[in-house]
Structure 1
């Protein structure tokens, strides 16, 4: 059995959304009895609304029943606060938006008997990038993932994330991971390569829950758990050197699309990177893109100056 559970923050329009696309892609392979799709709108911006949601979460858990699912895919469609990365939980008494740290949000969302269902699930965060770009936010996010224990969590780093760009990605996920049974961590780069629009729009983040037996502990049954975070950014030697997008226009002369092919170089302190030069006459302005400290280059094709830069330790 497959469970697709979509949590939607109040006020968001989900017409033609990514979770429904995944459900449609899987309907040809499963029956109504073996493929469940549930969509729930949440709003717990006040104490009264929170109590109502806690009761609603219990009813939802009762509807789902015993956890006998082969695959559990959870989507969270939500806004994130642009200056801190907090996640919106709904509206307060005055109709204003309320945002909290990711851990507090997840504790509220997965209330009561919903909480155990997150274990071993695949979680998609359909939100803008601040949740994974601010240190306090990402630490809070990883803290709650360690408690909830989803097998994998996927997030995206675009400041203004557009869900439509991952349509090909999500259909490929349904085919390779859900139907064929491949491990998400092993095919993640393949899924990223399927989409033409995704690489130029957003970075991708993959968080994996890992549990290892701790042989040095007195109790042989003890285990050590942690969240392994990986950051994938698309690079192109001309347009996105070291995964850093060049501005459309030169900051000095305003010329459009005037950048030269980047060249290896160093800044004034000796730090390695790539230099892109404005080719507009009499300008010569240079942009410096710094080389990541620890990374793995995953090329799309051997010899081509583009691919993915994978950074661990996020």
Structure 2
């Protein structure tokens, strides 16, 4: 059992239950750590025994307890395989077999502040902010994202959180060459370390008609492929492919609403081996409305290290209602380890029976009588929602059918409650 006061080796820096630092117990089965003060019996273990005692965190105890599969680890085999099994925490090896150190279950004296199987993951993160020079860096989504993560990396022995802002304004071949040298230098540290979590924020304009992206303040690329070729030179591509890379396209929706540009974006997702690519369809996209979404993304997927799945993505989308009203969200996923890798695309729409039936935008003004906010919606056969103008003598109506191949992501459990206080 390792007991330490700061991040060491492959373990996390903060207790995964309370998110505090201090004297921590390192789990012998996973990277999680737990404040020693959360287990009353720990202080009764003699100092001379602590080096030989093994510690199993509550998360591993629950996960293994629910498992029905056999294990090659004798420590795992020592954990009782039954839901709700008493928590023992500490184990000692006797005659090549692990048994509980204490005769009775231990007392856990804290509560979950995050989900029960989460982590406080402080493994390396590299944030690359590629932005058109005329767009401000201060207060940008990437900058806010970086500063939200900083407290988790404040006590690191080495720099595990890196942020690089790379503005570009490529109006000439000379500008493009300067960019190539700069970005190659910026990502060079990634060539000398193990697998990192790389997050690339692209903040630029897209052409209203063609969906192509801007190189410079007044210069759009001829094609999306051409833009990626210039902004991500070969050496940079090689580095990004090695790591767990995500790409966030903060630009107007013509990029994904124009067929040719959309297909080119998918192609570059595969070529660069981008694990997750997120883009937005709003025609006049406002990056500021994504801040709450990306702050949740940083906490849930990077720090808590939860699995990237619809059930968790739904939590973030429900926290981002302003984004939902503003834009649909497109997610592209690519796994190069798959036998036949392909880009899988999902579209997420905010739906509301009254104002966004099946994700379609309800007009503010009735096109017949020109009244404002006059629609009343009613769900009819097979889930169709009919919007009728409620203005007297107006007969205008519009029907919205549920799109094919859709899954409604239910609102996460729990709610806020208001109480009076003296």
Please give the range of the TM-score, normalised by the shorter of the 2 chains: 0.7 to 0.9
Q: 2:186 aligns with which of 54, 60, 75?
A: 60
Question: What is the CA–CA distance in structure 2 between the aligned matches of 1:293 and 1:22, rounded to whole Å?
Answer: 35
Q: Which has the higher contact order (CA 8 A, sep 6+)?
A: 1
Contact residue 3 and residue 69 of structure 1 kept, 8 A: no
Q: 1:124 aligns with which of 245, 248, 264?
A: 248
Structure 2 gaps, min length 5:
1-123, 414-422
Structure 1 gaps, min length 5:
214-222, 267-271, 303-314
Q: Identify the residue that residue 331 of structure 2 maps to in structure 1.
A: 206
Contact residue 224 and residue 261 of structure 2 kept, 8 A: yes
Question: What is the CA–CA distance in structure 2 between the aligned matches of 1:258 and 1:289, rounded to whole Å?
Answer: 17
Q: 1:76 aligns with which of 202, 208, 230?
A: 202
Pairs within 5 Å for 1:1-314: 1-31=124-154, 33-62=159-188, 64-90=190-216, 96-119=218-241, 120-186=244-310, 187-211=312-336, 223-264=339-380, 273-300=384-411
Q: Residue 255 of structure 1 aligns to a residue in which SS?
A: coil
Q: Which has the higher strand share?
A: 1
Change (3 A) 1:154 1:66: same
Contact residue 88 and residue 100 of structure 1 kept, 8 A: no
Runs of 4+ in 1 over 6 A off after TM superposition: none
Query: Which deviates further from its counterpart, 242-251 or 105-114?
Result: 105-114
Question: What is the CA–CA distance in structure 1 between the aligned matches of 2:402 and 2:162, rounded to whole Å?
Answer: 45
Question: What is the CA–CA distance in structure 1 between the aligned matches of 2:397 and 2:405, rounded to whole Å?
Answer: 25
Q: CA deviation at 1:250?
A: 0.8
Contact residue 245 and residue 276 of structure 2 kept, 8 A: yes
Q: Which has the larger radius of gyration?
A: 2
Query: Would you say how many aligned residue pairs link Structure 1 and Structure 2?
Result: 284
Query: Which deviates further from its counterpart, 4-13 or 109-118?
Result: 109-118
Question: What is the CA–CA distance in structure 1 between the aligned matches of 2:384 and 2:174, rounded to whole Å?
Answer: 53
Q: CA deviation at 1:127?
A: 0.8
Q: CA deviation at 1:63?
A: 5.1
Residue by residue over 1:158-185, the C-alpha shift from the partner in whole angstroms, topping out at 9 and shown as x without a partner, is 1111122122211111111111111333
Contact residue 352 and residue 358 of structure 2 kept, 8 A: yes
Question: What is the CA–CA distance in structure 2 between the aligned matches of 1:289 and 1:75, rounded to whole Å?
Answer: 35
Query: Which deviates further from its counterpart, 235-244 or 100-109?
Result: 100-109
Q: CA deviation at 1:65?
A: 4.3
Question: What is the CA–CA distance in structure 2 between the aligned matches of 1:211 and 1:68, rounded to whole Å?
Answer: 18
Question: What is the CA–CA distance in structure 2 between the aligned matches of 1:115 and 1:28, rounded to whole Å?
Answer: 30
Change (3 A) 1:14 1:284: farther
Q: Residue 248 of structure 2 aligns to a residue in which SS?
A: strand
Give the TM-score normalised by structure 1.
0.84
Contact residue 389 and residue 397 of structure 2 kept, 8 A: yes
Q: Residue 253 of structure 1 aligns to a residue in which SS?
A: coil
Question: What is the CA–CA distance in structure 2 between the aligned matches of 1:12 and 1:69, rounded to whole Å?
Answer: 31
Change (3 A) 1:134 1:25: same
Question: What is the CA–CA distance in structure 2 between the aligned matches of 1:284 and 1:118, rounded to whole Å?
Answer: 57
Question: What is the CA–CA distance in structure 1 between the aligned matches of 2:317 and 2:239, rounded to whole Å?
Answer: 27
Contact residue 148 and residue 295 of structure 2 kept, 8 A: yes
Question: What is the CA–CA distance in structure 1 between the aligned matches of 2:240 and 2:314, rounded to whole Å?
Answer: 24
Q: Calculate the aligned-residue CA RMSD, in Å.
A: 2.1
Question: What is the CA–CA distance in structure 1 between the aligned matches of 2:373 and 2:197, rounded to whole Å?
Answer: 45
Contact residue 250 and residue 258 of structure 1 kept, 8 A: yes
Q: CA deviation at 1:300?
A: 2.0
